[in-house]
Amino acid sequence: MKRSLCLALLLTSASWFGMALAAPNSTPATPHPTETTTLIVKPYTIEVNGKKANVYRIEQPDGTWGYRGTEGRMFRVTVKNDTNVPTVLHWHGLILPNSQDGVPGITQPPIMPGQSYHYLFPLVQSGTYWMHSHYAGQIQQQMSAPLIIDDPKEAKTPEALLFLSDFSFKTPEAIFTHLKHGNDAMPSMTMSDSKNAMSGMQMNANSHSMAMPNNGNPGDLYDVDYDALLTNYRTLDNPDITQVKPGETIRLRVIDGGSGTNFFVNLGTLSGKLIAIDGEAIRPISGKQFTLSLGQRLDILVTIPKNGAYPIIAQGEGTKLQTGIILATPGAHIPKLSQTASVAAGAISTAQELAAHAVNPLVNKPIENTLHVVLTGDMSTYTWEINGKMWPAYVPLEVEHGQRVEIDFENHNGMAHPMHLHGHVFQIIEINGKKTDGALHDTILVPAHGDIKVILDANNPGNWLLHCHVLYHQMGGMMTLMNYIGIPLPPKGTQAM
């Protein structure tokens, strides 16, 4: 059973690989080298606010967090589940065969405790990507890691990683139940949880009224009061310090790997150039502050002017909580940084998206199929829908292989939704009625009461999830499938997370 499954995967990948990578003038005899590794998913302990916290980590046998690969190579990876819970890993942003996408019930069964699962696919992109659990609420328990793919033709520059996340001492299930049923339903509370239940009650007062329907309320920037924001597993009490030299240009790779937080990235006294969004090159945008939503990535170049310490701070949308790293030259005085800013951050605007233009836009082609994606929800019942349906009662979005497709996202909520489509890259063409020759993305923040139009080429057959990357909205039903006509749909009731 297992061997035949592996063979099927190999055949699917191999034929797809031939299609995707054999450029007309390439020498067919040249084999594409294979990168082989193991990624171990395991329990991990970190310290947050002076307390031990049990989370997860995805690392190679030598302890390296996540993976760094090279474009043009086959990626052969064994994912080993060394936890006591089932899991599945999804390769966020990668264009790969549907069978390798890592969605439970749709592309594979869950990987049970102690078991391994083999993936094999070509790396056809380069840039900043990430991997994360697509099972239950594990993404909130830090079951995620960077996935960086180098372009072999590109010169190496010094880098700094900012893998941003949010942290709660509560379980994702407890948070979701609380969001759904309010204060009277904290399940199986322990002594230490009772304090968290208190902060849960403050959630009502601080973030927004959970008893009010979300529609029509423009002030909804987040749903959950987290205990801390993290960068590379650390709080600002003890941040990562990246050694730099005066005159050096550093490539910041910023990943929003949280479960419910969009971020403002502040460069402090440095000036930056945003050169890529979601791994795809854009015409550089200069600035001191940039924004990213859950699931998205930014590549920003900063030049170190002189000796010193340069904090790079990411503040959560709508909150005072902040996180980050420090770039420091040798011997520089390292400042003490607070985990809270003096003022809460506002809402992320569409300014950066309107200013962003792809270096390699999609070729001009008539639209052959327009898909409508209407986002609705109700805070009082904490239900979230796409086209009036909650997963798993979805109605698939149907495309035909080869079509140029437009997706019109229309958000009826007072809250923005970071919408992620698996297995494809799309280009923004309209933002709140304004036409643009925008950036390429795999995840786009659809503004509150706003709309976004994107285009893509349907050239990767399969069943591909389209969902909100706010974990609790996804749990609350905001998920559907883009189905290629002719590919059988998964069985009714499939959870897919």
The residues that touch Cu ion, with contacts defined as CB under 5 A, are: 417, 468, 470, 473
Query: Under a CB-based contact definition with an 8 Å cutoff, are residues 130 and 147 in contact?
Result: yes
Q: Tell me how far apart the alpha carbons of residues 18 and 15 are, in angstroms, rounded to a whole number.
A: 5
Kindly tell me which of 250 and 466 has the beta carbon lying closer to Cu ion. Answer: 466
Kindly tell me which of 73 and 417 has the beta carbon lying closer to Cu ion. Answer: 417
Q: Are strands 249-256 and 451-457 parallel, antiparallel or unpaired?
A: unpaired
Q: Give least dist CB 474 to Cu ion, A.
A: 7
Q: Tell me how far apart the alpha carbons of residues 99 and 332 are, in angstroms, rounded to a whole number.
A: 49
Kindly tell me which of 260 and 462 has the beta carbon lying closer to Cu ion. Answer: 260
Q: Give least dist CB 261 to Cu ion, A.
A: 12
Q: Give least dist CB 162 to Cu ion, A.
A: 23
Q: Give least dist CB 478 to Cu ion, A.
A: 5
Kindly tell me which of 101 and 223 has the beta carbon lying closer to Cu ion. Answer: 223
Q: Give least dist CB 363 to Cu ion, A.
A: 31
Q: Give least dist CB 321 to Cu ion, A.
A: 19
Q: Give least dist CB 446 to Cu ion, A.
A: 8
Closest CA to 485 of 399, 383, 404: 399
Q: Tell me how far apart the alpha carbons of residues 441 and 431 are, in angstroms, rounded to a whole number.
A: 14
Q: Tell me how far apart the alpha carbons of residues 397 and 391 are, in angstroms, rounded to a whole number.
A: 13
Q: Tell me how far apart the alpha carbons of residues 440 and 360 are, in angstroms, rounded to a whole number.
A: 8
Kindly tell me which of 399 and 468 has the beta carbon lying closer to Cu ion. Answer: 468
Q: Give least dist CB 473 to Cu ion, A.
A: 3
What does each C-alpha distance from 103 to 89, 91, 180, 200, 466 come to in angstroms?
A: 8, 10, 24, 31, 12
Q: In this structure, what token pair is assigned to residue 154?
A: 């590109």
Kindly tell me which of 272 and 295 has the beta carbon lying closer to Cu ion. Answer: 295
Kindly tell me which of 229 and 446 has the beta carbon lying closer to Cu ion. Answer: 446
* CB proximity list for 494: less than 8 A, separation 6 or greater: 105, 106, 392
Q: In this structure, what token pair is assigned to residue 429?
A: 């063409």
Kindly tell me which of 356 and 470 has the beta carbon lying closer to Cu ion. Answer: 470
Kindly tell me which of 9 and 468 has the beta carbon lying closer to Cu ion. Answer: 468
* Backbone φ, ψ for residue 206 (5° rounding): -80, -50
Q: Give least dist CB 468 to Cu ion, A.
A: 3
Omega before residue 392 within 30° of 0, cis: yes
Residues 291/294/299/301 CA torsion (nearest 10 deg): 40
Residue indicated by tokens 């030049």: 303
Q: Tell me how far apart the alpha carbons of residues 472 and 466 are, in angstroms, rounded to a whole number.
A: 15
140 conformational bin, left if phi > 0, alpha if psi -120 to 50, beta if neither: alpha
